[in-house]
Amino acid sequence: MSDPQEIKLEVRNRYAGIARNQSSGCAPSAADCGGDKLVELQMVDYSELRQQGVPEADLGLGCGTPTVWAQIQEGETVLDLGCGAGIDMFLSARAVGATGRVIGVDLTPEMLALAQRNASRGGFTNVRFMRGDLEHLALAAASVDVVLSNCVINLVPDKAVVYKQIHRLLRPGGRFAISDMVTYGEVPATVRQDMALWSGCIAGAMERETYMDMIREIGFGSVRVVAESQHDAADYLPLDESGFGIASVTVVGEKTA
């Protein structure tokens, strides 16, 4: 695998640029990557959901709709890992109401600044923002009811550590709803080592069944895929680098103890 610090720097720089331009799809376009390596392809249609939050907070970066599956209740505490411009936070903030709260964590200062502006635009007072690395979350154990993430964990070098953090932070009986990218078939080493493909949600995506096994082994119960959309890598990469597949999956699970 590529150097973890190099990956984080690439991811931070890419999403800082997106925050400044306020537009992109999940996979980077040629203009984003400085070449013709990838095409921009929208993973999920947020057109109806965005009207319930702040429309400007939807930058087209998601690969699922985790809030639809999270069963968020009034008064709960929700944590959004890799909150971006805040679209899932604001949908959650409406669901938890005045007695609940939503915490958004992101690695990129520019993205957090954009999310804070969007929160002010929408008049949300039950949201809080933190800059943080998802491998090292400065929050108290058993302090949240629901964890969300949308097309972000694939960007993190050590995904098992992230899920261990989620397990630590959830209260007993708490749950997660996470949309992420996974792969199927043999992924070439050249893809795995490509920094632009890391920040484009492809190179860091784990093999689907390995990903699911990892989550279960950490100790979550009722782990299952509730939504999935498969794509041929040829939609994203030149033909000489295709031959494997990628999928956007939404996974839910519970902390049973």
CA distance 182 to 210: 9
Per residue in 63-73, is it b (16+ CB within 10 Å) or e — as a string? bbbbbebbebe
* Domain coordinates in residue numbering, the chain: 4-255
Residue pLDDT tens, the chain, 257 long:
579 999 999 999 999 999 998 755 554 433 333 333 443 445 677 766 666 667 888 888 999 999 999 999 999 999 999 999 999 999 999 999 999 999 999 999 999 999 999 999 999 999 999 999 999 999 999 999 999 999 999 999 999 999 999 999 999 999 999 999 999 988 889 889 999 999 989 999 999 999 999 999 999 999 999 999 987 776 666 545 556 889 999 999 999 97
**What's the pTM value of the predicted model, to 2 decimals?**
0.90
* Domain boundaries 4-255, corresponding CATH code: 3.40.50.150
| Residue-level pLDDT at 32 | 38
